[in-house]
């Protein structure tokens, strides 16, 4: 019997399985019959090696947070060398046939060239636009040093595209860049959106304690970097709570990033600590509980060269949990959310605050938008068709007939659907139950059960 192909996935910016897209990819490959290994940095208390759900995880101690050009250069070199060393360790355990690199950064094409001498193919999973990240953070460079840095980023991107045997892009905007800027043949590209696995991401009964005494909880989920606009969430909270006296609204900011400590200090300086909670790093169970409780989710990403063409995972995750969304009108955000979100023109903080308040005060609107978002996730954005496209790229590249990816469904205990942590799931198959839940997250388990039986 032919041995199953082995795929090595390299990630630098997040641990796995914390990187949701990469973990979904790993599970899809394993379910399809592939052997999978991952090299990534350690998270808190992570072991150097572990096997989780049949995925072999090799992890290295992350470098200290980089500062300045030399600091970033050292970070890239350190991670590259640790990854190269671990790739030899993976090879000694089990020869791999494809190396997948997920950016940022665009540096692993050089490692792919080394492994190509051993017959290994290279797949580039295009997560980010590093030249646009630079422009979004620093603007168009005027000095020699800035222009040099941007030129290096563009060169690294070109080398990555040129070296890749196949490119998977998170949306059609990124795919177009692979064609036009990277000169990748169209037949060597595929769009694999970071869609939610709606068989797993399902709302449960809301948790009143997460509202911390308020009537409404507003959630932000994601990275907290300079280009993510989380400072805008604090601006909105200030206008709603302090300027308009809406002390019935609470905000939960889920995630971490370079700006987290600055954001905490800003919240304290403005007197918002009683109304704004920073959870830090969160896992799937915490995300499920918060998003199942939130009356609305916010996508505050400002308009810039990166955000306008990037798919925001948080928007789709809100929708999977039937959370109505308020977002700035960005090209790919509209592609993801369609008619299932309230859009505000970029930069209009007052308009964002008013749109959010209008939504919080209109349960019928929340019910319609939340239910429509969930249905859009199931029918248009769901991970299953994305998983089929993703696995199909490997099947075609290696000439392997896989058995296809099959996401896990919910457990059933005593006739009631439960999530993996034992929380009772909302019946998302019933339109009336789903709409009622999206309108008022306060429904208890008993309330939901009565609706199901009634």
Map out the domains of the chain as residue ranges.
6-195+384-398, 213-378
Two domains, one topology: 6-195+384-398 and 213-378: yes
pLDDT at 175: 97
Q: What is the dihedral sign for C-alpha 325, 328, 329, 333?
A: negative
Mean pLDDT of the chain: 91
Whole-structure pTM value: 0.84
CATH superfamily of 213-378: Glycogen Phosphorylase B; (3.40.50.2000)
| Residues 91, 221: Cα–Cα separation, whole Å | 36
Going by CATH, does the domain composed of 6-195+384-398 fall within 1.10.20.10?
no
| Residues 373, 340: Cα–Cα separation, whole Å | 5
Are 218 and 228 in contact, with CB atoms under 8 Å apart?
no
pLDDT at 227: 84
pLDDT tens-digit map of 167-177? 999 999 999 99
pLDDT at 1: 40
Residue among 101, 162, 151 nearest 127 (CA): 101
pLDDT at 408: 57
For residues 123 and 414, which has the higher predicted lDDT (pLDDT)? 123
pLDDT tens-digit map of 330-371? 999 999 999 999 999 999 999 999 999 999 999 999 999 999
Are 376 and 338 in contact, with CB atoms under 8 Å apart?
yes
pLDDT over 70 percentage in the chain:
94
**Which of 104-113, 125-134, 318-327, 409-418 has the weakest average pLDDT?**
409-418
Beta bridge partners of residue 328, listed in sequence order: 344
pLDDT at 410: 61
List phi, psi (to 5°) of 328: -75, 145
For residues 443 and 111, which has the higher predicted lDDT (pLDDT)? 111
| Residues 215, 93: Cα–Cα separation, whole Å | 54
pLDDT at 188 over 60: yes
pLDDT at 224 over 80: yes
pLDDT at 404: 78
């Amino acid at each position: 019997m032919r041995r199953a192909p082995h795929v090595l996935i390299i990630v630098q910016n997040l641990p796995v399985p914390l990187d949701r897209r990469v973990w979904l990819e790993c599970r899809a490959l394993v379910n399809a019959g592939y052997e999978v290994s991952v090299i990534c940095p350690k998270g808190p208390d992570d072991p150097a090696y572990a096997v989780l759900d049949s995925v072999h995880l090799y992890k290295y101690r992350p470098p200290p947070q980089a500062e300045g050009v030399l600091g970033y250069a050292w970070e890239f070199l350190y991670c590259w060398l640790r990854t190269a060393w671990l790739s030899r360790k993976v090879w000694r355990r089990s020869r791999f046939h494809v190396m997948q690199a997920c950016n940022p950064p665009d540096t692993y094409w050089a490692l792919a060239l080394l492994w190509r001498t051993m017959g290994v193919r290279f797949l580039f999973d295009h997560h980010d636009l590093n030249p646009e990240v630079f422009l979004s953070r620093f603007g168009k460079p005027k000095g020699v040093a800035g222009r040099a840095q941007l030129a290096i980023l563009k060169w690294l991107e070109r080398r990555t595209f040129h070296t890749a045997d196949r490119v998977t892009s998170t949306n059609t905007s990124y795919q177009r860049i692979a064609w036009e800027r990277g000169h990748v043949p169209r037949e060597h590209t595929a769009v694999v959106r970071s869609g939610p696995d709606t068989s797993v991401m399902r709302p449960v009964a809301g948790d009143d304690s997460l509202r911390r005494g308020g009537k409404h909880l507003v959630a932000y989920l994601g990275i907290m970097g300079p280009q993510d606009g989380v400072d805008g969430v604090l601006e909105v909270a200030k206008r709603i709570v302090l300027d308009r006296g809406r002390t019935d609204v609470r905000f939960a900011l889920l995630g971490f990033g370079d700006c987290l400590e600055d954001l905490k200090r800003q919240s304290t300086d403005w007197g918002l600590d009683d109304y704004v909670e920073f959870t830090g790093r969160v896992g799937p169970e915490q995300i499920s509980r918060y998003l199942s409780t939130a009356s609305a989710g916010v996508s505050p990403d400002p308009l810039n060269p990166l955000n306008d063409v990037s798919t925001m995972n948080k928007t789709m995750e809100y929708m999977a949990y039937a959370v109505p969304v308020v977002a700035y009108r960005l090209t790919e955000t509209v592609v993801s959310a369609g008619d299932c979100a309230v859009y505000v023109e970029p930069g209009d903080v007052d308009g964002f605050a008013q749109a959010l308040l209008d939504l919080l005060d209109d349960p019928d609107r929340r019910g319609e938008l939340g239910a429509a978002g969930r249905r859009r996730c199931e029918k248009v954005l769901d991970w299953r068709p994305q998983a089929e496209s993703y696995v199909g790229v490997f099947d075609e590249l290696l000439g392997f007939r896989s058995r296809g990816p099959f996401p896990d469904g919910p457990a059933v205990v005593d006739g009631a659907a439960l999530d993996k942590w034992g929380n009772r799931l909302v019946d998302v198959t019933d339109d009336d139950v789903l709409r009622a839940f999206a309108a008022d997250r306060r429904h208890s388990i008993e309330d939901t059960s009565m609706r199901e039986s009634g």
